[in-house]
Structure 1
């Protein structure tokens, strides 16, 4: 029988108030490699990497506040102060770095519209994985425009995000994209997360 995990994220559970000791998050796993990605610039923040870094520093992105309502469910609250440093219109995708396997993978797109976690073959190779590590499968992925792409196989790897370790299945495809990995709804739902730019 599976045990249910309890998380105290976003709740005030100080030992003095409720006599409950908050759970300590496990430390992030060590990574042996960092997988970077170099691509062209953005229409919003400039055409070079240094311009993008400068725009990112100037934006001063702030984190959202998560509170607890009367029904003990977390509430996600945005107010006008959250928008003061965001350039409108906001069109950026949610791109993150994430420990996957024993590597820190950069340039990962978090995509609510993807029904699968997708890893590029070039990323798979840079991680030092061999073809024998993947399960050969002939599944077809269908894009929004109806274009189909056959996957080379699947692999299950551990991911770590803010204290949560998850084993996630990735479909491996051989295409050239501006991202190393696309994390889709399976990961988002397993993480019980609400992605926001």
Structure 2
């Protein structure tokens, strides 16, 4: 049965033609919580394909306006400081400290069948995450995220695609961050060997 027939049955009138294509609506329901531990306050940690590599421990942060890359991922992707373009704005770390970025680099990020270019800012700061993708990535993908449902949804070829987060990875990352705060501070820089 077509959408126009359903509309006609509901309104009791003749079928109306629908102009244009109707896209599925991106949203979340209680069904999207199946398989998650509830209640929770876990971060949304996903795996994304960045520059052709599957990268784990990527945090999706819809509250941030900057896509961030940390030194371990930068080294792991075999990138060099010469690959960076200048980035002159200061950033504030999770610890509330000002961080001077090392630079910026544009890399392809694949999510299912879709690939978008992301401008990552390299920061010399500790993080249990390899990267943070934020509003610029979400908007480029036309995606919506839900920490409650532990997933990201976006349209691709008129179908809803999902990126599932991992609560166990998010919990490992928070444990690592807590342990890091308890460690004595070292004067060594995270990127001194870049």
Normalised-by-shorter TM-score class: 0.5 to 0.7
2:39 and 2:104 mapped to 1: Cα distance?
A: 37
User: Is 1:177 paired with 2:127?
Assistant: yes
The answer to whether residue 61 in structure 2 is matched with residue 117 in structure 1 is no
Closer/same/farther in 2, CA of residues 167 and 92 from structure 1, 3 Å limit? same
Query: Based on CA coordinates, which of the two structures has the bigger radius of gyration?
Result: 2
SS at match of 2:55: strand
* CA drift at 1:186: 0.2
In 2, Cα distance between equivalents of 1:100 and 1:167: 10
CA separation of 1:189/1:84 partners in 2, compared to 1, >3 Å: closer, same or farther?
A: closer
CA 1:168 to 1:80, structure 2 compared with 1: closer, same or farther past 3 Å?
A: closer
Q: 2:24 aligns with which of 68, 74, 90?
A: 74
| RMSD across aligned positions (CA) | 2.5
| Shift in Å, 1:90 | 2.1
Alignment gaps of 5+ in structure 1: 1-11, 13-69
Could you tell me whether the CA contact under 8 Å between 2:87 and 2:121 is conserved in 1? Answer: no
**Count of residue correspondences:** 129
**Displacement after TM superposition at 1:122 (Å):** 2.1
**SS in structure 1 at match of 2:144:** coil
Query: Offset of 1:169 from its aligned partner?
Result: 0.4
- The separation in 2 between residues aligned to 1:176 and 1:136, in whole angstroms, is 21
Q: Is the Cα–Cα contact under 8 Å of residues 122 and 174 in structure 1 kept in the other structure? A: no
Say if 1:190 and 1:88 are closer, same or farther in 2 by CA, change over 3 A. same
**1:157 equivalent in alignment to 2:107:** yes
TM-score, scaled to structure 2: 0.59
Kindly indicate which of the two structures has a greater share of residues assigned to helix: 2
Shift of 1:77: 4.9
Query: Is the CA contact (8 Å cut-off) linking 1:97 and 1:105 kept in structure 2?
Result: yes
Cα distance in structure 1, aligned partners of 2:89 and 2:45: 26
